[in-house]
Amino acid sequence: MIRTIYIIILAYFLVGGIAFYLISKKKTKEEARQNRIKYITYFIIINGLFLSIVINPLFFRILAGIIVAAGAYELYHLFSKSGFQKKGFFLISVCSYGILSYGFIAFSQMAKDWILFTFVILSVFDSFSQIAGQLLGKRKIATKTSPNKTLEGVAGGTLMCLLTAVLIRDLIGFGLITVVLLAAEVVIWAFLGDLAASFYKRHYNVKDYSRFIPGHGGVLDRFDSMIGAGAWMALMGSLITFTS
């Protein structure tokens, strides 16, 4: 099953590469170069995370801790750059981030199959929502908070996630309806996590949390959706264990 999943990931990357090539033909040379950097960096990140989960989940737990710590630093960094303004908003944001981070760390300690299922769905949503948005996007969803998000992008990413959930449903051993519902929940919380991170950035009038990841911005720019969806899946896993 692991081999099948990796083949699916590589196939999606091939499709994504073709899509990015078509998108880049309509861009300036600099925009096309940035797209290539983003694509290559994302390929490295996805493969690194995949291997960390498959080889030894302990590696993923360590990465989860690094992601949470780096994200906390980025939150504080933006707050300090603002001259420590809007303290109430910052405290609420930190508390919310703390709760989600706790859930994300709990998620990193779940069974490998659950982590891998969530990771694949997240990766597909992040990739294809962006591709569909750039190719077909017309109707904006949250103009002020996240101006690049479109209804077509979210719809395209969601459809690919549901299809992928059906293809890899044997990984977690649930029925068709259950895996589709779980995938839908991952998408919802990934989207909410992304919006929350974007809202915080806009509040402090910045485009990216940092420039740590080439083509992607900061750690929270790349992993905001994973933190949100991971926290939710940890809660779902606890409820399923409790009721079983």
* Residue 51 to residues 31, 46, 60, 94, 144, Cα–Cα distance (Å): 30, 9, 9, 31, 37
What CA–CA distance (Å, rounded) separates 184 from 197? 20
Give the pair of three-digit tokens for residue 224.
């905001």
In sequence order, the β-bridge partners of residue 146 are 142
In sequence order, the β-bridge partners of residue 17 are none
pLDDT digits (tens, 9 = 90+) for 11-21: 988 988 888 88
pLDDT digits (tens, 9 = 90+) for 139-165: 888 777 777 788 999 999 999 999 999
pLDDT digits (tens, 9 = 90+) for 166-224: 998 888 778 889 899 999 999 999 999 889 888 888 888 888 888 888 877 889 999 99
What CA–CA distance (Å, rounded) separates 27 from 18? 15
- The C-alpha torsion from 90 through 95 and 100 to 106, rounded to 10°, is 140
The 10 Å CB-count burial string (b at 16+, else e) for 31-64 is ebeebeebbeebeeebeebbebbbeebeebbebb
- Amino acid, res. 25: K
In sequence order, the β-bridge partners of residue 140 are 150
The mean pLDDT value for 64-77 works out to 94
pLDDT of 243 higher than 60: no
Interhelix angle 176-203/112-136, rounded to 10 degrees, is: 60
**Is residue 41 a contact partner of residue 216, using CB atoms and an 8 Å limit?**
yes
Residue 28 has what DSSP assignment?
Answer: -
Interhelix angle 29-55/2-24, rounded to 10 degrees, is: 170
Residue 140 has what DSSP assignment?
Answer: E
The mean pLDDT value for 29-49 works out to 87
β-strand 146-150 against 140-142: which pairing, if any? antiparallel
Give the pair of three-digit tokens for residue 21.
């090539």
**Is residue 119 a contact partner of residue 230, using CB atoms and an 8 Å limit?**
no
Question: Band of the pLDDT at 225, cuts 50, 70, 90?
Answer: very high
**Which residue stretches of the chain are H helix?**
2-24, 29-55, 57-81, 87-107, 112-136, 151-167, 176-203, 219-243
Residue whose pair of structure tokens reads 């908070």 in the numeric block: 145
